[in-house]
Chain A
């Protein structure tokens, strides 16, 4: 089992529905987010390219956050999902510093570090993560990479894709279809 996500940058309109859906699903406090939208514009008018990306924890295969955690609170769970154990987290912030994607934040109410869980609680019930299930453009695909028939496997088979900051060696598992 290896959970992964593929996001079609040619369809994403950057509407941020994934961000609000995540906030309400996971009680993310206002002013914070587990996922966010990046806009990239290249070229000069009128030859311009635009890309929107819905970004989040890349649920990496090679996890600097887990390595740097002094208490073992950051861990790799079933299907490669990287989680934070609230009972063990002391909020030291080492993982926040180590993440090349800036995907973690200090939760002001819990006093611990918080991040995308791929909506672990939904996925174990056989549902898609909240962001995937709400997306009006259906530009996000989620599933098990070891299942060749999963939505994410099919999307990656049929399209070109990229990952973010591959040079850091983190082996990210969120793919961007281009």
Chain B
């Protein structure tokens, strides 16, 4: 195998041609600028996946002055979070990708060379044809995240591959989707239909709302604080929401499932569950009752280090509030490899408290609709990721990104191998754990195309890099997402694409032309497609430019199950499956058990990671507006741990994990009482290793490089990331072979 895919530090090869003049925003116009002269353009945010709708304000010179929320948008209610407000930094970032680049060998040395769009697209189209004739179109895979990926999905399906995946499933919310599907017949979906604003008791497990800025969720939690609703937060760290909660349960990491089983035990044992609801809507209660009989609060106290009395008291609080109670499923839930079972316990707890489909519990979301422009039928592929995965992960209803890596890796024994990848808007090495394996897979590819707005680390491994313009410079599919009120939102370009960047819709249209697939891309500009869609419902682009968001009350149904209604759950039995027959059929425990997970050995501490309100993954950590607020992560260490290791506040340290991996960069210690002594914590997304990211290179540590012990969930393939342990290195380690 050619070891051609050596990581290229883009800056060294292309620095000369990349130095374009920076456009500085004008600081002087400020207060005096006549706001009425600013043009208002509707958009929905692409900094994170919540996709809040808002307005970009542009002045006469074509500078984006500010971005604010659209008050008719249920995701934002007119208020953007710091990342959305600072989204303009994505557009202004001087380190953006500026023109297509290709990996070329000159004088025996690999480097990225700036090329024209024609050269880049010709090369890609030819490679796609070659792969198709040699291995079949199916051996091309798409990894995507966000709006750009939707356009590439169309290209892939038209070309003959449905091997499309997103790390948002197996690296993030997959376990909760499957657990809710197994229990209620329907996955949770995004945004989560938790009726927080009407709840009387919100229970969060490791879900740090307020540090994750899932916008309307944060807003609703703040609202219920006004009326003193009970918040119970289970977290080994005093998260912001833990500090605002009536109960903070600083649980021993990895023991959440024991706590959940004990809560179920108390609620059943005391008979404080919703008897009518369970009798009418649920199956398997007797089995559940027997199952949790021994999982007493006293049993759980020994495991979780939460006093039995506290477990009983909080269970009582939930029952008092029921059905206006939410045991929130969380979002990033791939922790220990038994995550679907933990989420099953959460689903069961909600079910016996009668919160699903009830006001103040979970609502039944409404979704808007727009007709799709008719396209030719897609060819039927000979195989898909389902055949590729075979017997693995039998309860995965969505594609598993890490299984795509497996099917590309040289050690793959299966019949259906992947030979080409497109990564659109997803920085794979910082998203999917076990970087070494990902890179081995990449080295085995015939084609690797990366589409991004920024020189993310993954760009360094590409054959071709296509620079996408930011969401502020393009239009995309209207956002249609489930919420209380059926609605959709549009995104129009606020400004023209900077540099030689292009929207994904243009890239796939041009590739489609080269591949004889032009009928799937019947537009010059994607706005034509949106206009067609809007005209089918009596609206138009001109109309939507004034509104941004349109409510579609004609698609609303009731949000809740009515009292006594014969509601039919979408499970095989039509009832809530407390006892999951679906899982049992696939060979898994139909009721969740607690299993003990790996513990840190002496001198090691569990590595935990999370979010800061002003950052989203690696997408924001170079954004000049947002690095102003936080430009590096630090390492949270309890004072006891600091003393044990002679660490002081602000000290520079490096970390070494249980497998001997040493962090590429250093991090400053933050000694704090906000964390248990048996773990350390950092914000995800820092420790950037691509030198082209001048604003963020080498600041802080990337948790991703230290996550090498991956606990795979056998049910759905999720990659549990929280069984990694680190020790401190206080002297700068000698340069080791860094993998990124």
Distance in angstroms from A177 CB to nearest chain B CB is 11
7 contacts between A and B (CB under 8 A): A11-B225, A23-B628, A26-B30, A45-B238, A45-B676, A134-B79, A136-B213
Residues of A within 8 A of B408 (CB): none
B482 located at the interface, meaning its Cβ lies under 8 Å from any Cβ of chain A in the complex: no
A137 located at the interface, meaning its Cβ lies under 8 Å from any Cβ of chain B in the complex: yes
Please name 12 further chain A to chain B contacts, defined as beta carbons within 8 Å, in addition to the given A15-B614, A135-B79, sorted by A numbering.
A10-B225, A13-B244, A16-B614, A17-B80, A17-B82, A21-B66, A24-B65, A28-B27, A45-B238, A48-B673, A134-B85, A137-B222
B122 located at the interface, meaning its Cβ lies under 8 Å from any Cβ of chain A in the complex: no
B26 located at the interface, meaning its Cβ lies under 8 Å from any Cβ of chain A in the complex: yes
Q: How far is the CA of A17 from the CA of B628 in the complex (A)?
A: 12
B723 located at the interface, meaning its Cβ lies under 8 Å from any Cβ of chain A in the complex: no
Tell whether, in the assembled complex, residue A50 and residue B82 are in contact, meaning their CB atoms are under 8 Å apart. no
Tell whether, in the assembled complex, residue B613 and residue A16 are in contact, meaning their CB atoms are under 8 Å apart. yes
- Chain A residue with the shortest CB-CB distance to B241: A13
Distance in angstroms from B230 CB to nearest chain A CB is 14
Tell whether, in the assembled complex, residue B30 and residue A30 are in contact, meaning their CB atoms are under 8 Å apart. no
Query: Please, how many residues of chain A have a CB less than 8 angstroms from a CB on the other chain?
Result: 42
Residues of B within 8 A of A134 (CB): 68-69, 79-80, 85
Instruction: Check A117/B31 contact, CB under 8 A, given A10-B244, A16-B629, A20-B629.
Output: yes
Tell whether, in the assembled complex, residue B82 and residue A45 are in contact, meaning their CB atoms are under 8 Å apart. no
Residues of B within 8 A of A20 (CB): 82, 85-86, 614, 625-626, 628-629
Instruction: Check A27/B28 contact, CB under 8 A, given A48-B673, A50-B240.
Output: yes
A-contacting residues, B207-222, CB 8 Å: 210-211, 213, 215, 218-219, 221-222
Distance in angstroms from A26 CB to nearest chain B CB is 6
Output the residue of A11, A20, A52, A133 with the most chain B CB within 10 A: A20
How many CB-defined contacts (below 8 Å) exist between A and B?
A: 137
Distance in angstroms from B671 CB to nearest chain A CB is 10
Output the residue of A41, A107, A137 with the most chain B CB within 10 A: A137
A-contacting residues, B28-74, CB 8 Å: 28-31, 65-69
Q: Which of A15, A45, A120, A139 contacts B638 (CB 8 A)?
A: A45
Q: How far is the CA of A23 from the CA of B27 in the complex (A)?
A: 10
Instruction: Check A23/B30 contact, CB under 8 A, given A45-B674, A134-B80, A137-B222.
Output: no
A91 located at the interface, meaning its Cβ lies under 8 Å from any Cβ of chain B in the complex: no
Tell whether, in the assembled complex, residue A48 and residue B674 are in contact, meaning their CB atoms are under 8 Å apart. yes
Residues of A within 8 A of B67 (CB): 24
A1 located at the interface, meaning its Cβ lies under 8 Å from any Cβ of chain B in the complex: no
- Chain A residue with the shortest CB-CB distance to B225: A11
Query: Please, how many residues of chain B have a CB less than 8 angstroms from a CB on the other chain?
Result: 54
Residues of A within 8 A of B241 (CB): 13
Chain A positions near chain B (C-beta within 8 angstroms) = 10-11, 13-17, 19-21, 23-31, 33, 41, 43-46, 48-50, 52, 107, 109-110, 117, 120-121, 133-139
Residues of B within 8 A of A13 (CB): 210-211, 218, 222, 240-241, 244, 613
Q: How far is the CA of A23 from the CA of B85 in the complex (A)?
A: 10
Instruction: Check A14/B613 contact, CB under 8 A, given A26-B31, A27-B28, A136-B218.
Output: yes
- Chain A residue with the shortest CB-CB distance to B238: A48
Residues of B within 8 A of A43 (CB): 673
Distance in angstroms from B87 CB to nearest chain A CB is 9
Chain B positions near chain A (C-beta within 8 angstroms) = 25-31, 65-69, 79-82, 85-86, 88, 210-211, 213, 215, 218-219, 221-223, 225-226, 238, 240-241, 243-244, 248, 250, 613-614, 624-626, 628-630, 638-640, 672-677
Distance in angstroms from A98 CB to nearest chain B CB is 23
Residues of A within 8 A of B30 (CB): 26-27
Residues of A within 8 A of B85 (CB): 17, 20-21, 24, 134
Q: How far is the CA of A44 from the CA of B613 in the complex (A)?
A: 25
Q: Which of A11, A19, A29 contacts B82 (CB 8 A)?
A: A19
Residues of B within 8 A of A11 (CB): 222, 225-226, 244
Tell whether, in the assembled complex, residue A110 and residue B614 are in contact, meaning their CB atoms are under 8 Å apart. no
Q: Which of A25, A31, A45, A137 contacts B219 (CB 8 A)?
A: A137
Distance in angstroms from B464 CB to nearest chain A CB is 33
Distance in angstroms from B86 CB to nearest chain A CB is 4
Tell whether, in the assembled complex, residue A14 and residue B625 are in contact, meaning their CB atoms are under 8 Å apart. no
Instruction: Check A136/B673 contact, CB under 8 A, given A30-B624, A110-B28.
Output: no
Tell whether, in the assembled complex, residue B79 and residue A110 are in contact, meaning their CB atoms are under 8 Å apart. no
Instruction: Check A27/B676 contact, CB under 8 A, given A21-B85, A135-B79, A137-B222.
Output: no
Residues of B within 8 A of A30 (CB): 624-625, 628
Output the residue of B27, B86, B88 with the most chain A CB within 10 A: B27
Residues of B within 8 A of A107 (CB): 27
Distance in angstroms from A63 CB to nearest chain B CB is 20
Tell whether, in the assembled complex, residue B238 and residue A50 are in contact, meaning their CB atoms are under 8 Å apart. yes
Q: How far is the CA of A120 from the CA of B672 in the complex (A)?
A: 39
The 10 closest A-B pairs by CB, nearest first: A13-B210, A15-B613, A137-B222, A50-B243, A27-B30, A24-B66, A17-B82, A20-B86, A45-B673, A20-B85
Distance in angstroms from A145 CB to nearest chain B CB is 21
Q: How far is the CA of A136 from the CA of B77 in the complex (A)?
A: 9
Instruction: Check A46/B27 contact, CB under 8 A, given A13-B218, A138-B219.
Output: no
Residues of B within 8 A of A23 (CB): 625, 628
Q: How far is the CA of A117 from the CA of B32 in the complex (A)?
A: 13
Q: How far is the CA of A134 from the CA of B52 in the complex (A)?
A: 13
- Chain B residue with the shortest CB-CB distance to A130: B66
- Chain A residue with the shortest CB-CB distance to B638: A45
Tell whether, in the assembled complex, residue B31 and residue A14 are in contact, meaning their CB atoms are under 8 Å apart. no
Q: Which of A29, A49, A133 contacts B243 (CB 8 A)?
A: A49
Tell whether, in the assembled complex, residue B31 and residue A19 are in contact, meaning their CB atoms are under 8 Å apart. no
Tell whether, in the assembled complex, residue A27 and residue B26 are in contact, meaning their CB atoms are under 8 Å apart. yes
Q: How far is the CA of A23 from the CA of B423 in the complex (A)?
A: 34
Q: How far is the CA of A45 from the CA of B639 in the complex (A)?
A: 9
Q: How far is the CA of A172 from the CA of B295 in the complex (A)?
A: 55
Q: How far is the CA of A44 from the CA of B639 in the complex (A)?
A: 9
Residues of A within 8 A of B250 (CB): 45-46
Q: How far is the CA of A135 from the CA of B221 in the complex (A)?
A: 13
- Chain A residue with the shortest CB-CB distance to B80: A134
Q: How far is the CA of A146 from the CA of B639 in the complex (A)?
A: 47
Residues of A within 8 A of B223 (CB): 138
Q: How far is the CA of A46 from the CA of B672 in the complex (A)?
A: 11
Tell whether, in the assembled complex, residue A139 and residue B66 are in contact, meaning their CB atoms are under 8 Å apart. no
Residues of B within 8 A of A136 (CB): 79-81, 213, 215, 218-219, 222
Q: Which of B27, B222, B625 contacts A110 (CB 8 A)?
A: B27
Q: How far is the CA of A44 from the CA of B677 in the complex (A)?
A: 11
Tell whether, in the assembled complex, residue A41 and residue B31 are in contact, meaning their CB atoms are under 8 Å apart. no
Q: How far is the CA of A26 from the CA of B35 in the complex (A)?
A: 12
Tell whether, in the assembled complex, residue B218 and residue A48 are in contact, meaning their CB atoms are under 8 Å apart. no
Distance in angstroms from B669 CB to nearest chain A CB is 15
Distance in angstroms from B410 CB to nearest chain A CB is 45
Residues of B within 8 A of A133 (CB): 68, 79
Q: How far is the CA of A107 from the CA of B80 in the complex (A)?
A: 27
Residues of A within 8 A of B243 (CB): 48-50
- Chain A residue with the shortest CB-CB distance to B677: A45
Q: How far is the CA of A44 from the CA of B672 in the complex (A)?
A: 9
Q: How far is the CA of A104 from the CA of B663 in the complex (A)?
A: 39
- Chain A residue with the shortest CB-CB distance to B86: A20
Distance in angstroms from B48 CB to nearest chain A CB is 13
Distance in angstroms from A139 CB to nearest chain B CB is 7
Residues of A within 8 A of B675 (CB): 45
- Chain B residue with the shortest CB-CB distance to A13: B210
Distance in angstroms from A83 CB to nearest chain B CB is 10
Q: How far is the CA of A135 from the CA of B78 in the complex (A)?
A: 10
Tell whether, in the assembled complex, residue A138 and residue B27 are in contact, meaning their CB atoms are under 8 Å apart. no
Residues of B within 8 A of A138 (CB): 79, 219, 222-223
Residues of A within 8 A of B625 (CB): 20, 23-24, 30
Q: How far is the CA of A20 from the CA of B451 in the complex (A)?
A: 28
Residues of A within 8 A of B222 (CB): 11, 13, 136-139
Tell whether, in the assembled complex, residue B628 and residue A109 are in contact, meaning their CB atoms are under 8 Å apart. no
Distance in angstroms from B354 CB to nearest chain A CB is 29
Q: How far is the CA of A96 from the CA of B248 in the complex (A)?
A: 41
Tell whether, in the assembled complex, residue A27 and residue B29 are in contact, meaning their CB atoms are under 8 Å apart. yes
Output the residue of B29, B238, B676 with the most chain A CB within 10 A: B238
